[in-house]
């Protein structure tokens, strides 16, 4: 079957419902977290928030809180927004037409009359909330479920590789490299790549007995043009979990967030420079499909998936594209340099260009999703 309706038509109604459920849960939580970051810092800086919306379009249901904010859920669950006092719409790009006619009391609670630093903090609140959410979720998972890792067991040896020439065998468990203890498969890759082809002593456990091997990794050039060492082995594919103390869980969560951020940015740069296939870029349909799959695995898998998406959402929103939070920060940087805001016409043109770029990216990502679903 070649469409989102394929699971239903083939009798997999349960799978389709899981997909819808997983997508709504993931998107609703991540959008709420992102917009809550904007909301909390806006309120902290004395800005009146008129609307906090999950989704776009007609309101399905909502309520007003004591401060006058309308909290609502809207019909189109593909995002959300916080509309602050003085905004012309939920994008917070342009003020209302009568912003200059506000009274002193109204200016005191208007986003557009706040100092530059406060406005930048409010805009940064969304991405910051996404990163904090990811760190908290991963820290909780590492302290309860455990941190996943691949044991340093050799599952495959590539032909004519350095490992094959040195006599490594499938089933060997690497215990040390040049005296450095090995706990997980990633440790092997890290140490071998850094050595850049220098001879090394690798100790493996083979049938319960330690075996010492002299290996000279092959030197290759990676996608970034760096010269790195390659052993020519793959892991066994098994995944184990180790529970961490609360302090270590937080530290590892920070580290994992940083690693995911840098690897994501690196992958996107490779797509831009045509060193990586842009077909890997997924959109809402791919997210919906993956959300349904991980939701069926369990709560831990779903939370881990949400943490990864939250990091991606935070990164994307920091891109210097008008409409996104990074576009706002770009305007504020120009304002800091010029000593005054950009003209309204310049901001309007920037908004239109940014909207066109975002829509183009959405169309491209959705097309990739449809091609992926057609082939699956």
Domain extent at residue 186: 149-241
Low pLDDT (below 70) residues in the chain: 1-12, 88-99, 195-197, 222-226, 275-283, 364-376
Residues 233, 345: one domain? Answer: no
Residues 33, 123: one domain? Answer: yes
Domains of the chain: total? 2
Q: Does residue 85 form part of some domain?
A: no
Residues 329, 349: one domain? Answer: yes
Q: Does residue 206 form part of some domain?
A: yes
Q: Does residue 311 form part of some domain?
A: yes
The torsion region of residue 156 among left (phi > 0), alpha (psi -120 to 50) and beta comes to: beta
Q: Does residue 11 form part of some domain?
A: yes
Residues 297, 353: one domain? Answer: yes
| pLDDT score at 327 | 87
50 contact partners, CB below 8 Å, separation of at least 6:
68, 69, 70, 83, 84, 85, 87
8, two tokens: 């239903």
Residues with catalytic annotation?
Answer: 35
Q: Does residue 258 form part of some domain?
A: no
269, two tokens: 């740069």
**Does residue 73 sit in helix, strand or coil?**
strand
Residues 325, 211: one domain? Answer: no
CA 375 – CA 10 distance, rounded (Å): 16
61, two tokens: 């249901």
The torsion region of residue 22 among left (phi > 0), alpha (psi -120 to 50) and beta comes to: alpha
Question: Phi, psi at residue 2, to the nearest 5°?
Answer: -125, 20
pLDDT tens digits, 81-114: 999 887 766 555 556 656 677 788 888 888 888 8
Q: Does residue 184 form part of some domain?
A: yes
Contact predicate 335/123, CB 8 Å: no
Residues 125, 179: one domain? Answer: no
Contacts 24+ apart (CB under 8 A), 349-355: 350/322, 351/91, 351/93, 351/94, 351/322, 351/323, 353/322, 354/321, 354/322, 354/323, 354/324, 354/327, 355/322, 355/323
343, two tokens: 């003209």
Contact predicate 182/176, CB 8 Å: yes
Residues 160, 179: one domain? Answer: yes
Tokens 């498969």 label which residue? 185
CA 73 – CA 267 distance, rounded (Å): 34
CATH of the domain at 227: 2.30.42.10
| pLDDT score at 223 | 61
State which of 212, 241, 270 marks the end of a domain.
241
């Amino acid at each position: 079957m070649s469409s989102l309706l394929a699971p239903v038509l083939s009798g997999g109604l349960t799978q389709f419902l899981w997909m819808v459920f997983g997508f709504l849960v993931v998107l609703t939580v991540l959008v709420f977290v992102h917009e809550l970051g904007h909301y909390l810092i806006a309120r902290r800086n004395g800005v009146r928030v008129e609307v906090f919306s999950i989704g776009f379009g007609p309101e399905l249901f909502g309520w007003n809180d004591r401060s006058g904010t309308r909290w609502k859920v809207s019909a189109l669950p593909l995002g959300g927004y916080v509309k602050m006092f003085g905004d012309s719409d939920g994008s917070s790009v342009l003020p209302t037409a009568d912003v200059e006619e506000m009274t002193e009391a109204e200016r005191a609670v208007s986003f557009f009359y706040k100092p530059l630093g406060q406005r930048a903090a409010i805009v940064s609140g969304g991405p910051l909330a996404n990163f904090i959410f990811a760190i908290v979720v991963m820290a909780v998972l590492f302290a309860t479920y455990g941190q996943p890792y691949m044991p340093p067991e050799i599952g495959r040896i590539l032909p004519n590789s350095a490992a094959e020439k040195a006599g490594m065998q499938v089933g060997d468990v690497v215990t040390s490299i040049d005296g450095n203890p090995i706990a997980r498969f990633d440790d092997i890759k890290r140490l071998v790549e850094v050595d850049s082809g220098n001879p090394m002593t690798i100790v493996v456990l083979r049938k319960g007995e330690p075996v010492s091997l002299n290996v000279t990794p092959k030197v290759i050039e990676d996608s970034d043009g760096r010269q790195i060492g390659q052993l020519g082995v793959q892991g066994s594919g098994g995944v184990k979990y180790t529970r961490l103390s609360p302090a270590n869980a937080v530290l590892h969560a920070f580290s994992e967030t940083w690693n995911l951020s840098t690897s994501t940015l690196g992958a996107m740069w490779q797509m831009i420079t045509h060193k990586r296939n842009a077909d890997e870029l997924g959109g809402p349909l791919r997210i919906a499909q993956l959300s349904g799959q991980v939701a069926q695995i369990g709560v831990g898998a779903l939370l881990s998936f949400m943490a990864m998406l939250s990091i991606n959402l935070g990164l994307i929103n920091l891109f210097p594209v008008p409409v996104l939070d990074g576009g706002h920060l770009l305007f504020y940087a120009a304002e800091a340099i010029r000593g005054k805001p950009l003209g309204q016409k310049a901001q309007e043109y920037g908004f239109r260009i940014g909207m066109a770029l975002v829509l183009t990216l959405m169309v491209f990502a959705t097309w990739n999703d449809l091609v992926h679903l057609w082939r699956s």
